[in-house]
Structure formats: C-alpha cells, structure tokens
C-alpha cells in the first residue's frame, strides 16, 4: 500500500514539476523572445500557471499523502530516491502551504509586469518610473513574510527561499569576515598604483564565435543547450536535456565572455543532475549558494586562470589580431584579472565582487525594515558604493537600476552570489587535491575531468540532500568557510601585483 501511495505522490509531483517548468519556459521567452506588447498577457499566464501549481502542491490532500509516507520513507535508505523525495517534498510543503495561492499568483503577476518597466527605466535612467513596481514587489514580499512565524529576523524567511536553513546572522558574520579580510586586499592593490586604462574595440561577431568555441570545449552541445542574448544574463530551461543560457556582448571588453562562462556553470549543474530525478522537485540544484559556486567556478577559477588562457589566447589573438597583436597570454591574463573598483556587479573583478553583494544584502534588509523612504534608495545605494568601493555613481542605470532581481521580487537572492564565491573555493581545494593534473589539462583544452568530477560529487544529487549535507558530501564540512576564498584571492593577487601572500 505504501508503494502505491508513493507512486501516487511521485505522479502528482511530476505534474506540478511540469507546471513549474512551463512557467520557467514562459519566463525565458519573456526575457529573450517575447515582443514588448505581450507583457500584460504574459503576466496573467504566469500568474495562472503559478496559482495552479501552488494550489495542487499545497492542498490538504497533498499534505495528507506526504504525511502518510513519512515513516515509510524514514525506513528506507537515506540516500534513496524514495526517502529523498518524501523528505524534500515534506519540507517544501510545510513552507509553501503557509502561503495563500492568490498571494503566490499576485507575486508572479507583479514580477512579470515589473520586468518591462525595469527594462525601460534602466534604459532611460528613470528610477522614478521603476519606483511604483518596486514598491509593489516589496509590499508583496512583506505580506509573504507575514505568512510565517519569525523567530529571529524577517529576512530569514526570504533568504531561506534561496539558501534553505541559512540564517541572516550567519551571512552577516561571514560578510563581516570578508569586509575585514577582503577589503584590505583592494586597498593593497590600489597602493601598488592600480591598473592602466585599456581601450579596446572588439567586434561582436568574432566574440560570439569565440564564446561558442569556449563553452563547447566546456560541454555545451546543440542537442541540449541554447545560447541567446538578453538584457540581464540568466540560466533557465525545462529539464535536464533542455538547458537555456543567455548572455550579452560589449565591444570595449570581454565581460560578455565571462558572463557566458558564468551561465554555463549554472546550466551544467542542471544538465548533470541524475536523469532518474527528472520531473520531480529533486531535479535541480540544491540551493543558489551551491548553484553560484558552479557559475563562479567556471567564470573565475577556470575562465580567469592562466592555464585556461595559455590554451585559448592564441585563438583569441587570431580573431582579434589588431587589438591583441602586442599581447602574450600572460599580459592578457593580468588584464582580465585586473583589480579595479567598478560600478557594475556582473563586471566586477574577484577582489571587489563580494563588496557589491554586501551592499545589496544590507539594502534589502533596510528596505524590508522600512529604515528609509523607498524614494531614497538611489541615495542609499550611492552612499554605500562610495563607502565600500570609493566610487561615485554617475546615474541610476549604472547604480540602483542595474540588476534585474528586484523587478522580479527576488529579495533574499543576492547573498547567495557571495556565498557561492566562498563555496567555490572550498570545492576547488578538494578538486585540485583529487585531480593534481587539472591545470595541465586546461592548457591542452581538456575540461572533461573537471566536468566529470562535479557530476559525480555534486551535480547528480540534485536536491536530494540539504545544502549543508550536500556541501559536507563534497568537501567534508557542512559549514561555509570564507577563509579558502580569501587565501585563494590573496595568493592570486600576490602573483600578479606583488602583495604579501599573508597578512
């Protein structure tokens, strides 16, 4: 009887997964293909699909079915599909069932309507035009938080949506460590005289050719992947064999390449989930912190490494002989690893990136707490940019309007970017210990061993375990440790800039 009930649960969760993936496809289309006139209709479509999925999942019948299987699941092997599906579904149901379906639908609708407003406001440097939809999204998040009992801080509720089990005070402690140990690195580099200005004009079509060659070497295939341009890059898809990544291109630098490698890392995580988990809530990355560890790994630990460029730089130079004729691979490596405080998060170097995240983390808490009128958000943003990075923000397009997240109501997401940086370094130390010839392989254009290691140790598990359990299985500890990242960064910058390897 229990097996029959489990089969019933699995089938119902598969139908809900289909709805969730349909919403993802609608969202991808909205950002990549949809004409602007479709915005209002798409908002209703997303609200409808989201409401139906939420109602099906949070029904009392579903709760009773899950509850009736708990003891049966606990008797099975902890790592099994059955035990994992019941365990994860129970946790998801407990949180989702506290949220009314109409509120969930309204959150989806508001996010869809806000996106084109944000795109236009960003283009026109018009924060005032974005303010009403931002206020609506923020109010909806406050209503969402009110659905739960808050034991410590309201921000815990939204943070948990992206990093299950993580508490705001834990993140704050980690970020305080980064401010203490990472910010001085930026000052040490600046004291060495900073970086010379580099003026380039890279034609876009050869860039597109090069980017495809890079990610094909990483594992991108036409059978299971798409790459498309968009305003703010992201990764999406409808399943393990349908991975969609997006990018954007710049003529003055190669930020688009690093963005593409970043989104490839997200896509690879989804691509390498065990196919047996498909059409279930287990068939995706376990948390955004772990997810960001993968995107930041391919973007930085691979894509900004000297072995990577020893292989790929001759091809890049071949495509841009006039721009890069006077370069060698080491000069280019130093340039793409230059430490220069900048306005745009997604183009920030490794030393300053986490400071961009700390700024957003603090602002999100302040917005939820109503610490200042929302009209003053640009001023609060600009003040923190000066405090943390010593940069004056010239306009809101380059400041508070640069990110897509708040237009989608994604408050609580930003901290996971920095957490992902830290996790990536923890995982990298384990990978390089297990694969001592990894960098030699990069110089030969071989990335299969890294891809296979990640599949075996991390990707295939999907959401079977908690973020802490997953991290422990990969590196031996469930705790996010900032020290390996700071150590990696200091050693790298010591080699480039001649600063001390230890403080």
Long-range contacts of 147-150 (CB under 8 A, 24+ apart): 147/98, 147/99, 147/100, 147/103, 148/95, 148/98
Half-sphere exposure of 28 (CA within 13 A, CB side): 20
Secondary structure (DSSP) of 223-243: TTEEEEE-SS--EEEEETTEE
Query: What is the spatial distance between Cα 256 and Cα 16, in angstroms, rounded to a whole number?
Result: 35
How many residues are present in the chain? Answer: 503
Is residue 263 flagged as an active site residue? yes
CB 196: neighbour CB atoms within 10 A? 7
Residue 66 belongs to what H/E stretch? helix 60-74
Positive or negative, the CA dihedral 240, 241, 246, 249 is positive
- Residue 223: is it exposed, middle or buried by C-beta count within 10 angstroms (0-12/13-18/19+)? exposed
- What are the residues facing 358 on neighbouring strands? none
CB 106: neighbour CB atoms within 10 A? 18
- φ, ψ dihedrals at 145, nearest 5°: -60, -35
CA dihedral 200, 204, 210, 216 (to 10 degrees): 140
Q: Which of 26, 397, 45 is nearest to 231 (CA)?
A: 397
Secondary structure (DSSP) of 329-394: HHHHHHHHT-----S-GGG--HHHHHHHHHHHHHHHHHHHHT-S-GGGHHHHHHHHHHHHH-----
Catalytic residue among 263, 340, 350, 380: 263
Residues annotated as catalytic are 263
């Amino acid at each position: 009887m229990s097996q029959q009930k489990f089969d019933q649960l699995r089938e119902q969760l598969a139908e809900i997964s289909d709805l969730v993936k349909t919403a993802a496809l609608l969202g991808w289309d909205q950002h990549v293909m949809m004409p602007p006139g479709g915005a209002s209709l798409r908002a209703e479509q997303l609200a409808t699909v989201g409401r139906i999925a939420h109602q099906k999942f949070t029904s009392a019948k579903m709760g009773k079915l899950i509850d009736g299987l708990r003891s049966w699941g606990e008797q099975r092997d902890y790592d099994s599909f059955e035990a994992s599906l019941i365990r994860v579904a129970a946790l998801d149901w407990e949180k989702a069932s506290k949220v009314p379906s109409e509120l969930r639908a309204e959150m989806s609708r508001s996010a869809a309507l806000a996106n084109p407003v944000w795109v236009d406001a960003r283009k026109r440097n018009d924060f005032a035009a974005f303010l009403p939809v931002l206020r609506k999204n923020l109010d909806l998040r406050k209503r969402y938080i009110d659905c739960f009992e808050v034991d410590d801080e309201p921000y815990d509720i939204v943070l948990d949506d992206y990093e299950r089990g993580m508490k705001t005070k834990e993140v704050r402690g980690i970020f305080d460590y980064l401010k203490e140990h990472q910010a001085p690195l930026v000052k040490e580099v600046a004291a060495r005289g900073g970086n010379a200005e580099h003026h380039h004009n890279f034609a876009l079509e050869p860039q597109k050719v090069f980017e495809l060659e890079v990610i094909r070497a990483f594992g991108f295939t036409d059978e299971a992947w798409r790459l498309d341009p968009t305003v703010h890059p992201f990764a999406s898809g409808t399943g393990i064999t349908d991975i969609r990544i997006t990018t954007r291109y710049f003529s003055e630098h190669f930020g688009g390449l690093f963005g593409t490698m970043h989104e490839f890392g997200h896509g690879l995580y989804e691509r390498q989930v065990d196919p047996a988990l498909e059409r279930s809530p287990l068939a995706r990355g376990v948390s955004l912190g772990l997810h960001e560890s993968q995107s930041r790994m391919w973007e930085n630990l691979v894509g900004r490494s000297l072995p990577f460029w020893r292989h790929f730089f001759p091809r890049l130079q071949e495509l841009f002989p006039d721009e890069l004729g006077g370069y060698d691979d080491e000069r280019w490596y130093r340039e793409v690893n230059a430490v220069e405080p900048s306005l745009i998060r997604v183009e920030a170097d490794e030393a300053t990136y986490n400071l961009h995240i700390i700024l957003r983390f603090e602002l999100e808490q302040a917005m939820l707490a109503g610490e200042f009128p929302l009209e003053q958000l640009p001023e609060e943003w600009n003040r923190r940019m000066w405090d943390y990075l010593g940069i004056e923000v010239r306009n809101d397009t380059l400041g508070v309007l640069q990110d897509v997240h708040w237009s989608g109501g994604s408050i609580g997401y930003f901290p996971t970017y920095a957490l992902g940086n830290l996790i990536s370094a923890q995982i990298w130390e384990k990978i390089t210990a297990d694969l001592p010839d990894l960098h030699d392989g990069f110089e030969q254009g071989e990335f299969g061993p890294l891809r296979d290691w990640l599949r075996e140790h991390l990707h295939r598990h999907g959401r079977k375990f908690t973020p802490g359990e997953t991290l422990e299985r990969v590196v031996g500890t469930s705790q996010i440790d900032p020290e390996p990242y700071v150590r990696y960064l200091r050693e790298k910058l010591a080699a480039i800039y001649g600063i001390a390897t230890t403080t």
